[in-house]
Amino acid sequence: MDGLVELPPGKIAAIATYLELERSARPAPSAWPAGLALEPLAGDLARYRAIYGEVGRPWLWFSRVAMRDRKLAAILDDPAVEPLALTRDGRDIGILELDFRTRPDCELAFLGLVPGLHGQGLGRRLLAEAIARAFSRPIERLWLHTCTLDHPAALRLYLAAGFRPYRRAIAIADDPRLAGLLPRDAGAGYPIVA
């Protein structure tokens, strides 16, 4: 495939990069500084949706927004899925979700911070936590995908942590803002083409 591919109005597209990290001897991260903690989100669908929405709105995260409660609850309450909120002094400021349902692999399904907290080292620390938690179980590799709709530093963060790219794909979807799944001002860096 070469050249530009025109999208019909109402669609968005992103280039997804799949990355993997194989088992390695990584030191466990130190304890979280005072005031920061990870709290389980299983069983608390409203809280999960709120933090997912706040973290993902600038990047047009919509897969979990579009999901019906029953289906989302089945994922989050599965004992092989570990959804966590990063909190600062009791306020949710980030999300981390590990999915062990496809052993011997683990998917880093979601990792992100609320707007305004990027560039402070919290993302690096949250990723170190994800890696340590994943490899504390008997898995062979940790994988994820990021895309051009994610935070601009996301891919660099994963590469710096030792993840290796192994596949690319083009993701095309209906614009979630036009479908009413996200507010029209979400994803300000991605203009709506209606």
All domains in the chain, ordered by first residue: 11-23+37-174 (3.40.630.30)
C-alpha 57 chain-centroid distance: 12
Alpha-carbon torsion (155, 158, 162, 166), positive or negative: negative
Q: What pLDDT, in 10s, does the model give residues 127-184? A: 999 999 999 999 999 999 999 999 999 999 999 999 999 999 999 999 999 999 999 9
CA–CA separation, 117 and 123 (whole Å): 9
pLDDT greater than 70 at residue 27: no
Token reading at 146: 């990021």
Q: What pLDDT, in 10s, does the model give residues 77-91? A: 999 999 999 999 999
pLDDT greater than 90 at residue 24: no
Dihedral pair phi/psi, residue 79, rounded to 5°: -60, -15
Whole-prediction pTM value? 0.93
SS3 142: strand
pLDDT greater than 80 at residue 13: yes
Average pLDDT, the chain: 93
**Would you state the pLDDT for residue 142?**
97
